[in-house]
Chains A and B, each alone.
Chain A
């Protein structure tokens, strides 16, 4: 295979404490070194990418993506979803098993792997169901799913409601050192809800989903994880109270990690005033206080990673009355721009912290050998132009769906090249237009 030299970029790799202008040499799909190519013998180079002015990071990993296949190919397929990932600068995604049928068998895991191999785009790591048929009644065949390659377990879309089964999942997953990815929601408190319960929902007459509906379940799952020494990863944290619970649990030494989504640190429930279903997601957009708490959680590491909860829905499904439209928005192609614009540009977090949140820690939580540019590791690399201003145009998304509330927004920062195992899988073609 070929030799690729990524020259002169600012290499940010928190796994090795690297943050300096340097070259990255890749041979046969593996990283050879991060070092100055002018002073060391690099041999024959087949392709050189001039990365001056760009940020060079270990390939970004989105650990919360709904690829919809099998069952809802009208919304997204493994191929279109992973192409969207590449366009967003992600070299790996973890796909969530709430498909139809759900991913709860070895055959289903293999199906995903085969489809991903055929698409030949980015890495797809499979999150499998924690319960059979995602029904929350019996444990799924977790051991065999691990053998098939599942990296984590989740019934996302819904919580594991039975507390006894939840305890069993934590206990059983310990045997394989796999995390449980939790969708935290008390369904009685959110029944019929379409947005955050607060003064805005009150004024609009829309059924609210109270913050307590998320926090009560986070509290339960932390208690169960601590009781079993299980690994809990709290998905899409959206409330200040949730951040506080996780912070306290981490301080006690509980094996708890967490993620937040770009929309939850960018938008508030005020956005619902136009009744646009592209602002409807679960957990819902909260208040400005919650947004600030999420950002503080990312700053101090209470929230380990940034994940998109990429949730594509075909246009006709979102063009319904607010209570009939499904929850969720696409996120892969706006994640870098939003994270930079909201977190890095205003100086809330550093570049190394951002790369940690979008690559190093997702790799560590999922236990996959990615998220680093150490010599010998798989050469997944993302090149980001941190100065590029660009206008989000959902119609140009690689994703099959366009349900983004950020359509028309101007963002700073965009992936310009995405390299998977040493091969350039995506290059931004269009010039930045603002």
Chain B
């Protein structure tokens, strides 16, 4: 059977988790496994364009307590490409607006016989609390400013596709680190794979306290620019800020936007990532966003590959496909 053969081929190392909650608690080997699995899915689906039936009979729910278009679409499409049934559940218009707790909502879905929940929530740790209380797999699709593990994986996947190994690669994460779950997931994934991480932005968004983790902190983009192999330009999350962390968008863009002038002073082979949605003119100018070094659209395609890999590892068949020591 093609499916079983494929499964056996894909599952090559130990994956013991039922959930994917964050990258902080994964080992480097587990992160590599996730990336390798994603790569195999990308190839097997002809660049994420074709369908595989490996998760037929599985039901995946996307449970989104916070608005999202691209992440949700990407997860839904990835699940469908694997043959799973997908149920989209939104907070608005549901019993949540009638005061039901998030745990009760999730338990109700669980009682319908689903296999995995892809959850997005505005509060850090909510997927972790669900994982403690549900018996189905929980995949974190973003919990407030905490983590967004599949985004971190797809960013790293995109870099790895171009550069091969990440060991020794210098990656600048620029912008709203304070409110960015993408920054945190990138940070952990990159550190674990041996990259050098520089966090860059104004002190109101990038506190020096990050140095306690052993990463470099800079408030001067122009100073670090010549050393970076990759820049990941994080969106300013105006919606999460209580007080304005900089005087004006104009001043922020002046200090931190990736412009053509700055591009000239960077390494020729500099790669540019930006997890969408981007604010053109704030983090990155339009011409840089569309330049050949920009991986922005690669990121979207690779998001599908990564999410297929994650869904497969967390809710694929556990014992029927002869995955010795694999999926438990």
A residues in contact (CB < 8 Å) with B = 191-192, 198-199, 202-206, 274-275, 316, 319-324
Is B317 interfacial (CB 8 A cutoff)? no
Nearest B-chain residue to A193, judged by Cβ: B242
In the assembled complex, the Cα of A274 lies from the Cα of B207 at a distance in Å of: 23
Inter-subunit contact B124/A205 (CB<8 Å): yes
Q: Contact partner of B125 among A192, A198, A199, A322, CB < 8 A? A: A322
In the assembled complex, the Cα of A206 lies from the Cα of B123 at a distance in Å of: 8
Q: Contact partner of A199 among B121, B147, B181, B213, CB < 8 A? A: B213
Query: Interface residues of B toward A: which range?
Result: 20 to 34
In the assembled complex, the Cα of A72 lies from the Cα of B307 at a distance in Å of: 46
Inter-subunit contact B103/A319 (CB<8 Å): yes
Nearest A-chain residue to B181, judged by Cβ: A205
20 A-B residue pairs with Cβ-Cβ distance under 8 Å, sorted by A, are: A199-B212, A199-B213, A202-B207, A202-B209, A202-B210, A203-B213, A204-B146, A205-B124, A205-B144, A205-B145, A205-B146, A205-B147, A206-B125, A206-B145, A275-B124, A321-B121, A321-B123, A321-B126, A322-B126, A324-B123
Is B135 interfacial (CB 8 A cutoff)? no
**Chain A neighbourhood of B209, CB < 8 A:** 198-199, 202
Inter-subunit contact B128/A275 (CB<8 Å): yes
In the assembled complex, the Cα of A249 lies from the Cα of B50 at a distance in Å of: 73
B204 to chain A, nearest CB (A): 13
Q: Contact partner of B124 among A191, A204, A324, CB < 8 A? A: A204
B108 to chain A, nearest CB (A): 15
**Chain A neighbourhood of B143, CB < 8 A:** 205
In the assembled complex, the Cα of A97 lies from the Cα of B184 at a distance in Å of: 42
Is B24 interfacial (CB 8 A cutoff)? yes
In the assembled complex, the Cα of A323 lies from the Cα of B144 at a distance in Å of: 11
Is B101 interfacial (CB 8 A cutoff)? yes
Known: A199-B212, A275-B128. A322 touches B123 (CB 8 A): yes
Inter-subunit contact A274/B128 (CB<8 Å): yes
Is B291 interfacial (CB 8 A cutoff)? no
**Chain B neighbourhood of A322, CB < 8 A:** 123-126
B residues in contact (CB < 8 Å) with A = 24, 101-103, 121, 123-126, 128-129, 143-147, 179, 181, 184, 207, 209-210, 212-213, 242
**Which 4 A-B residue pairs are closest in the complex by CB-CB distance?**
A275-B125, A205-B145, A205-B146, A321-B123
In the assembled complex, the Cα of A324 lies from the Cα of B101 at a distance in Å of: 11
Nearest A-chain residue to B133, judged by Cβ: A319
In the assembled complex, the Cα of A198 lies from the Cα of B208 at a distance in Å of: 11
Most A-side CB within 10 Å, residue of B125, B144, B210: B125
**Chain B neighbourhood of A199, CB < 8 A:** 209, 212-213
**Chain A neighbourhood of B179, CB < 8 A:** 205
Inter-subunit contact A320/B24 (CB<8 Å): no
A317 to chain B, nearest CB (A): 10
Most B-side CB within 10 Å, residue of A206, A275, A319, A323: A275
In the assembled complex, the Cα of A202 lies from the Cα of B125 at a distance in Å of: 13
In the assembled complex, the Cα of A322 lies from the Cα of B125 at a distance in Å of: 8
In the assembled complex, the Cα of A204 lies from the Cα of B209 at a distance in Å of: 13
A195 to chain B, nearest CB (A): 10
In the assembled complex, the Cα of A31 lies from the Cα of B145 at a distance in Å of: 60
Nearest A-chain residue to B104, judged by Cβ: A319
Nearest A-chain residue to B25, judged by Cβ: A273
Nearest B-chain residue to A276, judged by Cβ: B129
**Chain B neighbourhood of A316, CB < 8 A:** 101
Nearest A-chain residue to B146, judged by Cβ: A205
B131 to chain A, nearest CB (A): 10
Most A-side CB within 10 Å, residue of B123, B145, B213: B123
Inter-subunit contact A319/B101 (CB<8 Å): yes
Known: A275-B129, A321-B123, A322-B125. A205 touches B102 (CB 8 A): no
In the assembled complex, the Cα of A275 lies from the Cα of B184 at a distance in Å of: 17
In the assembled complex, the Cα of A323 lies from the Cα of B181 at a distance in Å of: 17
In the assembled complex, the Cα of A321 lies from the Cα of B103 at a distance in Å of: 9
B212 to chain A, nearest CB (A): 5
A237 to chain B, nearest CB (A): 23
A188 to chain B, nearest CB (A): 8
Known: A204-B146, A205-B146, A205-B147. A323 touches B128 (CB 8 A): no
**Chain A neighbourhood of B103, CB < 8 A:** 319
**Chain A neighbourhood of B123, CB < 8 A:** 321-324
In the assembled complex, the Cα of A322 lies from the Cα of B128 at a distance in Å of: 11
